[in-house]
Structures are given as structure tokens and as C-alpha cells.
Amino acid sequence: MKKLKEILQEITQQEASKLLDKIKNKEIKFYARGDNGKVYQINNEDYLFKITTEPDELAVADVIVGRYGEFNAFIPVHYSDRSNRMYIMNKAEKLSPGDYRQVIQFYEDYKEYARNQGHETSIFEYLNTESTRKYAPRLVSFLRALEQQVKRMGIGDLEFSLDFKPDNVMQWNGNIVMIDW
């Protein structure tokens, strides 16, 4: 059973149609570019849409679309269209300076850990070592939720291909979320 808060965070089909019309009518502006795609802001809306060439990214969007209550370690995705390689998501905000420093420190420590392992490893393998006790509980809680949600998705080797890096972690509605995966 969904909580009222979750229902209120979802957009209606009518709102989704309105956003799609704005995209079709090119009522958008360029927002950002990544390795695998481009992000546009929809004019006068607090939503972004992304066009991507990464199949795993689309697979994740397909799983989490409309399911923020279950996949709250990811930015809410409200619409996904695999044939057009795009999805619509909420616009996130930058992390606080303290949270951002924590994410950077975790990422740098993870990279060092991965180099020392001598084999492919995931951020979750590093998360489960004793050395992660030095990170803020807020970050560790987010990472544990992310780990569980990635496992629940069952998408190939997503835990190894997850694009976890500081620029892909932001906050939405006061929560730390992945904005790109």
C-alpha cells in the first residue's frame, strides 16, 4: 500500500502528457552533457529529460519509473521511453558542501581500495569493509539503500557498472540520490 506522501510525489498522466508536449514543441533548454547523453530542462518546469545511449541506464529508468517509494536512492523518474532512448526525471539540487566532501572522500577511498584489490570490485564491496566507519551515517545509509535497490533491480552486473562518482550524486527533497547511473 502506498503512503499519501508517495502518491502526492507522482505526476499524473495528464502532467506527463503536458511535459511530453513541451518536449515535442521544443520548449526546452540544454542543461548538461555526460559521457552517454544530454540533459534538457523543460521550460517553466522542475523536470529534466535525458536522452541517453547507455542501455543499462535505460533499463534502470524502466525499472524505477513511478516507483520512488521503492527506489528512493535514485532521482524520481516519471516517464521512460526506451524506443526514443529518453526519460523524464525530477531536477535535483547540489549536495551540501559537507555531504559533497563525504561523497568525494568515499569515492577516492573506493578507487584506492579497488586498485589494491587487483580485480574488479564494486562500491558495495568497499562499503562493507571496516574502513567505511569513518563516513557520516547519512552517506552510509544512502549507500546501503542504493546497494539493496541495485540488487532488487536484477539488472546484469549493474553493481559493477553503476556510474557512481561525485557528480552523479545530488539531493532531492532532502535525500541523497543518484541522478545518473
Identify the band that residue 17 occupies on the pLDDT scale cut at 50, 70 and 90: confident
HEC secondary structure over 129-169: CHHHHHCCHHHHHHHHHHHHHHHHHCCCCHHHHCCCCHHHE
pLDDT for res 131: 81
Is the pLDDT confidence value at 25 over 90? no
pLDDT for res 8: 42
For 159-181, the pLDDT digits (tens) are 999 999 999 999 999 999 999 99
pLDDT for res 36: 85
Alpha helix (H) ranges present in 10-54?
Answer: 13-24
Q: Which residue has the higher pLDDT, 76 or 18?
A: 76
Q: CA 79, 84, 90 angle in degrees (round to 5)?
A: 30
Q: Which residue has the higher pLDDT, 146 or 156?
A: 146
87 forms bridges with which residues in the sheet? 50, 80
Whole-model pTM? 0.85
Dihedral in degrees, nearest 10, Cα atoms 175, 176, 177, 181: 180
Mean local confidence (pLDDT), 51-62: 93
Identify the band that residue 44 occupies on the pLDDT scale cut at 50, 70 and 90: confident
pLDDT for res 10: 58
For 92-120, the pLDDT digits (tens) are 999 999 999 999 999 999 999 999 998 89
Is the pLDDT confidence value at 143 over 50? yes
Residues 6+ apart with CB under 8 A from 78: 10, 11, 16, 19, 47, 65, 66, 88, 89, 90
CB 177 within 8 A of CB 170: yes
